[in-house]
Amino acid sequence: MFNISPLVIASALVLLAEMCFAGVSALVKHASTSLPYEHLVFFRNLFAFLVLLPWLHRKRATAFRTEQLGLHILRAVIGIAAMYLFFLVIATIPLAQATLVLLLAPFLIPLISHFWLKEFITRRLIATIGLGFVGAFIFLNPFGQDIHPMIIVAFVAAFFAAWTKTMIRKLSTTESPSKIVFYFSFFASLLSALPMLIRWQPIPTTAWLAIGGIGLLAVIGQLAMTRAFSIAPPSQVGVFTYSSVIFAALLGHFIWGEAITGHMIIGVVIIITAGYFALKRQKIPRD
């Protein structure tokens, strides 16, 4: 039987999560042409909550039992703020520009982990994550197009996203991945209900398929990301969230016919190289 390192498993789960999140972004971009983003945020969280109802039924005796209720609520508040900002950015500016700034989140994760969770980070790790950011920067080629002022909003969303991912590490000391996702979906559904009702408008029948896909992919991505960060520090596997730009490019190419250029290929190579070194540096035997 193969003995797979927890870091390898965590890295694979992050890749799965980012694949799902890229799908969510594409569906949001598509659905935002006919629905306010407040609707998309609410139903994204509601559908994720509904998917977890079978787990709630099985764990009904202990589902709500937690030692970190305050942190669950804080994660939901920060997470829902990041979601509103991200959906607003996606609906306003090109997906490539939004993704570029949101890719700052992996770079911020080790810093938040260091100052908040007191996790040690080396100069080599910082350089590795920086290399991944350079790859993403080259991949998206932002100097080849105009930059929208909404980029500032995207940066705030990136910081909030990094903070919520770091919270997972702290929550995982006492909570299971399913419970972490359940609490987030529960509180996020409540928090996003009022804005949706204020801006309510009828939902076209054709939009429900996209809404359902957003919720399903979101919960799969949340479960995979939560599990990944519960078995490995976010400062060690956060670099693999750069893969979202690769999945977004593939979706754009096969669905909308967007071109894959030379600078994109160079960026992919740099991102993969950064991920390789982030993985390799952990193969040092423990005392």
Which is it for the CA torsion 242, 244, 248, 250, positive or negative? positive
Distance, in Å, from the CA atom of 79 to the CA atom of 77, rounded to the nearest integer, reads: 5
Residue 53: Cβ-neighbour burial (10 angstroms; 0-12, 13-18, 19+): exposed
Separation CA 31–CA 90 (nearest Å): 11
161-201 residue pLDDT tens: 888 988 888 888 888 877 888 888 889 999 999 999 999 88
d(CA 277, CA 168): 24
pLDDT of 217 over the 60 cut: yes
Nearest to 139 by CA among 27, 50, 242: 242
- pLDDT at position 253 over 90: no
Chain centre to alpha carbon of residue 105 = 9
Task: Please tell me the distance from the alpha carbon of residue 148 to that of residue 146, in angstroms, as a whole number.
Answer: 6
Confidence tier at 128 by pLDDT (50, 70, 90): confident
Query: Does position 1 have pLDDT exceeding 60, yes or no?
Result: no
Q: How far apart are the first and last CA of the chain?
A: 24
Q: Quick one: DSSP state of residue 286?
A: P
The two three-digit tokens of residue 244, written as one number: 């979202």
pTM: 0.76
Question: Tokens for 197?
Answer: 């009702």
Residue 146 has a pLDDT of 65
Question: Please, which residues have CB within 8 angstroms of residue 172's CB and are 6 or more apart in sequence?
Answer: 180, 226, 229, 230
